[in-house]
Structure 1
Amino acid sequence: MDAMHMQQQMLEQQLLKAAEMMESQIDTEMKKMNELDDDDIESLRQKRLNAMQKAHAAKQEFVAKGHGGYDELPSEKDFFDKIKNCKRAVVHFYRPTTLRCEIFDKHLALLAPKHVETRFVKLNAEKCPFLCERLAIRVIPTLLLIVDGKTQEKVVGFDQLGGHDNFSTEMLEWRLGVSKAINYRGDISQPPEENAQPRKNLLNANRRIRSNDDPDTDDELFGDD
């Protein structure tokens, strides 16, 4: 028996074993379900109801803080006032004369109501020179991703989104999920577009941006100074 045939047999055995284990797990779960009495079912229903109520209350709290929309902050002071108490935020630094900023606007306006756990805002870079200097905002458009009051990462231009203007909203959603700026429900291990850069390249590119252009990354944004 040649080596290739032996490897094929071993692979078939492994697949068969995996299938048997999966079947056994399904049988176990089915047995548990069949053994549930009325009290167990009512308990599960109540837990599900409580979870739904908590999720609804959390959503209402987010909406009360301004989440769910994509708004423009008129000044640097508003940035500190509005974002200070947000656990997560996506801040679009734009310039009115930069057409590519409108592309980000389109996608962020779609994502904001979908991810109320995150505050989505935009700032005119020409009106906030101090903030741009402090955060090393050198390229427009730039998305500043804030998690727990810290600058988690930046998305500078479109290089991390496939390097073209026609990236999808799903692609940007995935990129925000990589940084944990939103609760991403898809497969975080792969970007949704086949023609996009591999995830490793995207993340490496972002690390270079952080290390070379952003000395204040991971500093507290809302300190006492």
Structure 2
Amino acid sequence: MDQQQSKLVEQYQEAKLQKQLDQDDEEVNSDDDELLELLEQDDTLAKYRDERIQELKKEFNRIDNATAGEQYGNMITIEDEKQLMETVTSNEYTLVHFYQPEFDKCKKMNDKLSIIAEKHLALKVIIIKAKDAPFLVTKLGIKILPFVVIYKNGKELDRLVGFEKLGNDPNNFNIEDLENFLLLRNVINRRTINYGSIRGSIKPVDQDSDDDLD
């Protein structure tokens, strides 16, 4: 997805998030209509017509489906393994972060994942304390936190152990590195243009060091 398309998708998502914040359906629907009208203007998007317009509308539909419920644009906290797996198997792509609230690296991961959740509304981002998932901790062989599993249709696609795949700094990483990691695996289909939060500030989940699980 090119920059112009990414910009339009971000505008569409921001309208959805504004609706969530304001609960003003009439105003937000008007914003949506204006954006869709923009897609039909030959002089504005002439070179993006046909396939690219269809691609955008398909992405808008994905966002519509993802925002049909109440929980979107935020990380979802789950405390039960059964509920976790039900969520994972009912969505195309899901990120699951197994974390410990005291670990600094887990806090940093949650901070970045909260941005991903807001900027890619069709992607489910779940966090669960490692102690609340003993079966999965054993099954996945989790020994170091943070530990993020990427699921596609309920099956593991890839995993992040610590920050090892996110640049050369063992103690931190850039949000761009995380997006690139997800783009290469087709988990997301565009890079974010504006990382600023429409909410002003995102409250991180209660969450710190490499953090060996034991």
When normalised by structure 1's length, the TM-score is 0.57
- Cα distance in 2 between the residues matched to 1:182 and 1:50: 17
Indicate how the Cα distance of structure 1 residues 84 and 148 shifts in structure 2: closer, same or farther if over 3 A, else same: closer
Match of 1:150 in 2: 155
For residues 152-184 of structure 1, the C-alpha deviation after alignment (integer angstroms, 9 at most, x for no partner) is: 111100122223323211111112222332224
Q: Is the 8 A contact 1:83 1:89 kept in 2?
A: yes
Residue aligned with 1:112, SS = helix
Structure 2 gap segments, 5+ residues each: 1-41, 193-214
Aligned: 1:114 with 2:119: yes
Match of 1:183 in 2: 189
Residue aligned with 2:145, SS = coil
Q: Is the 8 A contact 1:90 1:181 kept in 2?
A: no
Aligned: 1:84 with 2:107: no
Q: Is the 8 A contact 2:97 2:128 kept in 1?
A: yes
How far does residue 117 in structure 1 lie from its aligned partner after superposition?
Answer: 2.6
Indicate how the Cα distance of structure 1 residues 52 and 172 shifts in structure 2: closer, same or farther if over 3 A, else same: closer
Runs of 4+ more than 3 Å apart:
44-54
Match of 1:213 in 2: none
Between the aligned residues of both structures, percent identity stands at 27
Aligned: 1:104 with 2:122: no
- Cα distance in 2 between the residues matched to 1:48 and 1:177: 19
Residue aligned with 2:160, SS = strand
Which of 171, 174, 182 in structure 2 is aligned with 1:168? 174
Q: Structure 1 counterpart of 2:169, which letter?
A: G
Which of 138, 149, 159 in structure 2 is aligned with 1:133? 138
For residues 100-132 of structure 1, the C-alpha deviation after alignment (integer angstroms, 9 at most, x for no partner) is: 100001101111121123211101001110111
Higher CA-based Rg: 1
Match of 1:63 in 2: 67
Q: Structure 2 counterpart of 1:60, which letter?
A: D
Residue aligned with 1:113, SS = helix
- Cα distance in 1 between the residues matched to 2:180 and 2:54: 29
Q: Structure 2 counterpart of 1:143, which letter?
A: V
- Cα distance in 2 between the residues matched to 1:107 and 1:49: 30
Q: Is the 8 A contact 1:68 1:116 kept in 2?
A: yes
Indicate how the Cα distance of structure 1 residues 136 and 61 shifts in structure 2: closer, same or farther if over 3 A, else same: same
- Cα distance in 2 between the residues matched to 1:49 and 1:159: 38
How many aligned positions are there?
Answer: 146
When normalised by structure 2's length, the TM-score is 0.60
Q: Is the 8 A contact 1:88 1:146 kept in 2?
A: yes
- Cα distance in 2 between the residues matched to 1:118 and 1:136: 25
For residues 124-143 of structure 1, the C-alpha deviation after alignment (integer angstroms, 9 at most, x for no partner) is: 00111011112222211111
Please report the RMSD computed on the Cα atoms of aligned residues, expressed in angstroms. Answer: 2.7
- Cα distance in 2 between the residues matched to 1:101 and 1:68: 19
